[in-house]
Amino acid sequence: MKKILMLLAAVAFSTAAFAQGDKVVVKDDATGAKTTATVRDNGTVKTESRTGRTKAGEKVHNTKEDVKDAGQKTGKVVKKGAQKTGKAVKKGAKAVETKAKDVVD
């Protein structure tokens, strides 16, 4: 019974996907422009076009990416500095502990 139900569901999904028609997407990576052409069941073609980013939009996008990169670099530097400081503190504490043992002995 489960197998029949699963087979029926698979057929229903594949039929629904087939009814959507053929879809072709063409994207220009340089400008970000995208054109989508869909062929419907009745033979008509629907075409949608989106232009890419404007110059201002591209500058905003580039600024966002630059800030993201700078934040990641800063984070790595801060982490490395904290690790170095932690090692130095640990080394200093061990030296003080060793000196204190020598004084007590």
pLDDT higher than threshold 70 for residue 10: no
CA-wise closest residue to 52 among 29, 36, 68: 29
pLDDT tens readout for residues 33-77: 888 888 888 888 888 888 777 778 888 888 999 999 999 999 999
pLDDT tens figures, 12-30: 655 545 555 577 877 777 7
With a threshold of 0.95, does the pTM exceed it?
no
Does residue 9 carry a pLDDT above 80? no
- Backbone φ and ψ for 50, nearest 5 degrees, come out as -125, 130
